[in-house]
């Protein structure tokens, strides 16, 4: 029995995207939460909390995109055709955000506000664009004879746009939990006040998507509500409510600062799992599976050798960077 190379590469891409969403999510969420803090010292502290790791977080996005291009060229071509506009918005927003991140610390007080705005809007537009892309995947693509036949604005529909809004809320919640875990004093207390609002907003988003997603097409509805699948998925709503309860309890007691972040991560993971369940085994829903979109076996095998080397290196580097910069950050610490 041979190695199932398409399945291995599908798992690698899913893992890369999950790592990116988890790790760069709170990074982008810092910019989304920026308007909630007006003091320059608080904003400096917010940036310094992610300054040592934010570059490395985006490695997973590069890995996922490169893997999609090499392992599933058909899917890559269709995605670029269908989602060229939101992906372009995302890339430009990432550029503006990255430049603002570096330049803000070097700008004088009169120009710093401009870089703050660039950082805020770059973070929001990046996150919103990613949410639109996710929503477009769940909604599906019009493909005939392995060619995208839809329009350039098919993504501009209520469901993908709502997913963009929902991801903004999700990343803001992640960032709120991260800042509670990493900071002290005024900033930490402010985030604890914001935490219940973001948590309830996130619960609302999850509820709306849970009702809306099965209504998109019959295949998703059948997968969610047919037996025995329904029994397998029943624990998911209970886990979501359990995470929300943990976050709200932590916000009330303002103790165990790591709990809000870890519970928010679990919410993101549950949402990502729901996405995977909805589209499996499609890579380009609803018609093209990951096996249909896979490249030649020779290419997949050749790339896998490199992936087996580079992925452990990225994991070790990621672990080491978070380990070195663990613990609370104080106003007198800086990484620029």
Q: What is the rounded average pLDDT of the residues 306-333?
A: 82
> Distance (Å, rounded) from C-alpha 75 to C-alpha 214?
23
Q: Please write the tens of the pLDDT for every residue from 69-83.
A: 888 888 888 888 889
265 in Cβ contact with 42 (< 8 Å) = no
Give the up-direction half-sphere exposure of residue 317: CA atoms within 13 A in the CB hemisphere: 15
287 in Cβ contact with 143 (< 8 Å) = yes
Q: Is 294 a domain residue?
A: yes
Q: What is the rounded average pLDDT of the residues 290-302?
A: 86
Q: Is 304 a domain residue?
A: yes
Q: Please write the tens of the pLDDT for every residue from 129-160.
A: 999 998 888 888 888 888 888 888 888 999 99
Percent of the chain predicted with pLDDT > 90: 19
Residue 194 pLDDT more than 80? yes
Percent of the chain predicted with pLDDT > 70: 96
- Pick the closest to residue 52 from 9, 81, 84, 23 (CA basis): 23
Residue 1 pLDDT more than 70? no
Query: Could you tell me which residue, 333 or 163, shows the higher pLDDT?
Result: 163
How sure is the predictor about 108, in pLDDT bands with cuts at 50, 70 and 90?
low
How sure is the predictor about 125, in pLDDT bands with cuts at 50, 70 and 90?
very high
Domain holding 109, by residue range, is 3-182+283-323
Backbone angles phi, psi at 127, to 5 degrees: -65, -45
Radius of gyration of the chain (CA): 20
**C-alpha 144: how far from its chain's center?**
30
- Burial, 299: exposed, middle or buried (Cβ in 10 Å; 0-12, 13-18, 19+)? middle
Q: Is 104 a domain residue?
A: yes
Q: Is the dihedral of CA 183, 186, 191, 193 positive or negative?
A: positive
- Burial, 162: exposed, middle or buried (Cβ in 10 Å; 0-12, 13-18, 19+)? middle
Predicted local distance difference test score (pLDDT) of residue 183: 85
Q: Is 147 a domain residue?
A: yes
Q: Is 69 a domain residue?
A: yes
Q: Is 96 a domain residue?
A: yes
Residue 254 pLDDT more than 70? yes
> 250-281 burial by CB neighbour count: b if 16+ within 10 A, else e?
bbeeeeebebbbebbbbbbebbbebbebbbee
Most confident of 31-45, 177-191, 195-209, 311-325: 195-209
Structure tokens of 57?
């977080």
> Distance (Å, rounded) from C-alpha 176 to C-alpha 198?
8
Whole-structure pTM value:
0.90
What DSSP designation does 150 have?
A: S
Predicted local distance difference test score (pLDDT) of residue 126: 92
Query: Could you tell me which residue, 54 or 127, shows the higher pLDDT?
Result: 127
Question: Helix or strand or coil: residue 116?
Answer: helix
The total number of structural domains that make up the chain? 1
Predicted local distance difference test score (pLDDT) of residue 175: 92
Mean pLDDT across the chain: 84
Q: Is 332 a domain residue?
A: no
> Distance (Å, rounded) from C-alpha 301 to C-alpha 299?
5
Structure tokens of 188?
């930490």
Q: Is 79 a domain residue?
A: yes
Give the up-direction half-sphere exposure of residue 313: CA atoms within 13 A in the CB hemisphere: 7
Residue where the block lists tokens 């893992």: 15
């Amino acid at each position: 029995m041979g190695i199932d190379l398409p399945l291995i590469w599908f798992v690698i891409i899913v893992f890369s995207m999950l790592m990116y969403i988890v790790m760069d999510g709170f990074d982008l969420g810092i910019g989304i939460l920026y308007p909630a803090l007006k003091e320059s010292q608080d904003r400096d502290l917010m940036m310094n909390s992610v300054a040592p790791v934010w570059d490395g977080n985006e490695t997973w996005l590069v890995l996922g995109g490169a893997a999609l291009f090499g392992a599933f060229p058909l899917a890559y071509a269709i995605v670029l055709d269908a989602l060229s506009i939101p992906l372009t918005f995302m890339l430009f927003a990432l550029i503006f955000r990255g430049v603002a991140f570096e330049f803000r610390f070097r700008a004088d007080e009169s120009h710093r506000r401009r870089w703050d705005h660039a950082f805020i809007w770059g973070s929001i537009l990046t996150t919103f664009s990613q949410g639109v892309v996710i929503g477009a995947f769940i909604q599906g693509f019009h493909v005939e004879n392995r060619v995208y036949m839809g329009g350039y604005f098919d993504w501009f529909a209520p469901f993908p746009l709502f997913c963009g809004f929902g991801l903004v809320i999700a990343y803001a919640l992640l960032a709120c939990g991260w800042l509670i875990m990493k900071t002290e004093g005024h900033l930490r207390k402010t985030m604890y006040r914001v935490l219940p609002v973001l948590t309830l907003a996130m619960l609302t988003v999850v509820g709306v998507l849970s009702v809306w997603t099965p209504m998109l097409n019959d295949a998703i509805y059948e997968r969610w509500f047919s037996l025995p699948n329904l029994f397998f998925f029943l624990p998911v709503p209970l886990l979501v409510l359990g995470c929300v309860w943990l976050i709200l309890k932590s916000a009330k007691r303002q103790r165990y600062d790591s709990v809000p972040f870890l519970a928010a991560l679990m919410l993101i993971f549950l949402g990502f799992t729901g996405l995977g369940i909805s589209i499996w085994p499609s890579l380009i829903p609803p018609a093209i599976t990951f096996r249909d979109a896979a490249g030649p076996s020779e290419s997949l095998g050749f790339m896998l050798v490199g992936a087996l080397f580079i992925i452990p290196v990225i994991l070790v580097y990621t672990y080491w960077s978070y380990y070195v910069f663990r613990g609370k950050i104080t106003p007198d610490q800086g990484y620029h």
